[in-house]
Amino acid sequence: MLLNSLTLWRIKAELDRTVHLETSNVTFDNGTLTVYGNGVVIRDQVSEHQADTNKIVITGDVSTIDEHTFENFSNLQTVSIDHSINISNFAFHSCTLLESISFSSNIVSLGTNVFEDCSNLKLVDFPGSLSSIPAFTFKNCVFLEKVVVETPERTFQIGESAFYGCSNLFTFTALSENVTIGKNAFNGCTILQDFIIGAIISYEEGVFANSELLKLYSKDTISFLQNPFLIIVLHYLLSVLEEQSKKYNLTHSKAVQILVTSSLTKLYKKISISENQLFTDVQIYRSSML
């Protein structure tokens, strides 16, 4: 069996997980904390700089940021990571001044609660092969405006309450073929307007509860839409969506627009939910804009 470079890196990372960095691989200069070398960075190696750090640079072959490593770094503003890495649970939890994170390569794995309560965080762009945003990852990041996930993975998972309380989140993009969304994942995202995904295979209750405005763009990839009964099937698909809208608390939203499209025909139908009443436009439109 041939192994690609990412698979080999993951095997190496697993072997490195139990190897802690030497203290000499952590340097501090004028507010910048630099971590380099092979292995895992742990809290004990960096905690003495907690109050004075405003920038973190992680470079070299650091395989993993351990749980709680940079939690409550109260003056941290920027983080730069220049290679593939695992980020464990609560790694940057409650870094209340953190504004930006720069990833130049893959995030191999992301733990739960990693950026929870990072209230100043505004934009996150995940490159590479990230396959999930786990539970509570961005909970209460109240200034987070935009999240873009660039991943070749066919299936992408958004965990429970991953973006709960992100009251300024305006745009979310994840173009995997199939996306699963956990309970309350976007609950309280009160101005969420653009939600762009490849498709949805499942989502749980309260996903978009308490969102004032939502436009959900989902390109369907269901193979049976290629048959001659496309319009009938599309009507059926929309009726299922309407039932799901009621069942999964989309009706908690003040105004919702759902656009369901076929990549072959550019047919779409709009479903609007306003003030807890569901209104369905009975016609199917052609659109060159989608």
Q: What is the pLDDT of residue 61?
A: 87
46 pLDDT more than 60: yes
Full set of structural domains in the chain with CATH: 1-115 (3.80.10), 122-290 (no CATH)
For the chain, percent of residues with pLDDT exceeding 90: 37
Q: Name, in order, each residue with C-beta under 8 angstroms of 38's C-beta and a sequence gap of 6 or more.
A: 16, 19, 21, 60, 61, 62, 63
For the chain, percent of residues with pLDDT exceeding 70: 63
Q: What is the pLDDT of residue 19?
A: 59
Q: Kindly state the average pLDDT of the residues 191-218.
A: 70
Residue length of the chain: 290
